[in-house]
Structure 1
Amino acid sequence: MAFRFVRFGIKAGLCGAFVHYTIEEGVWGNSEDSAKLYADLYKNVAPYIKEVPVEVPELPKVENITHASQHYWNQGVKITFTFLKDLPTHTIHWSKKGWEIMQKFAESPKAVSDKSD
């Protein structure tokens, strides 16, 4: 029983340390902090990638990551608002469909013929 508490404590401590480290490094900050973190990571990792004997694709540049993240964010916003714009239509459609299904269930069941000889 005590082993479980120790194991849980170690896992919780590691998780907490990881979250604290990512907060300190700026992962959960604004986009400028994330871009700075990526630039630092790129600067620190790029020399080691050149030393690897296996062909490794080059890390994308910060500008490409920034542009891609903005593009996908904007696409998500557009899709969300399109859904919200069409929500009344969807609600009416789903209500009619639900009403039809409920009426089908409310009908009396058909009699089953007994074919015992």
Structure 2
Amino acid sequence: MIGFLVRASIVVGAAYYSKRLGVWGSPEESEKLYNQLKESVRPHAKELEKKLPFEIPALPETGEARFLAKHYYNEGVKSTFHFIEMLPCYTGQLMHKAKVEFEKFATPPSPSTEK
């Protein structure tokens, strides 16, 4: 129960904080926030680049990031609804497997023929 409350608190806090930052605001507010984050990450990325043996790709432009966010959001929604659509089938398969396993336990083992 406590684990659930902690997870729920984290989700509510993240939603509240992201709303306050402007993630869920107008496109202009979201773009402004993205650009601020990009500028604040840039010095850290430069330091990290010096220490890594490979090149870090550039952060995506605002339009590209918006496209990717929409794309992955839509894919998540489609996958969620596909799972919900298939839930009765998955439940039926699970119940069938459970029934077969319980029947195995319920039937006594057959006597083996020894030579």
User: Which category describes the TM-score, using the shorter chain as reference length?
Assistant: 0.5 to 0.7
SS in 1 for 2:65: helix
With structure 2 as the length reference, what TM-score do the two structures score?
A: 0.57
**Which digits, 9 at most, give the CA deviation of each residue in 1:38-83, with x for residues without a partner?**
112335666x59x879565322111111110110110111111111
Structure 1 distance, partners of 2:40, 2:62, is 14
From 21, 24, 32, give the equivalent of 1:26. Answer: 21
Aligned residue number for residue 37 of structure 1: 33
Structure 1 residues without counterparts, runs of 5 or longer: 1-18, 113-117
Computing the radius of gyration over CA atoms, which structure comes out larger, 1 or 2?
1
CA RMSD of aligned residues (A): 3.5
Residue 6 of structure 2: aligned partner: none
In structure 2, relative to structure 1, the CA distance for the partners of 1:97 and 1:70 (3 Å cut) is same
TM-score, scaled to structure 1: 0.56
Which whole-Å deviations, capped at 9, do the CAs of 1:1-27 have from their partners, x for residues lacking one? xxxxxxxxxxxxxxxxxx7xx938716
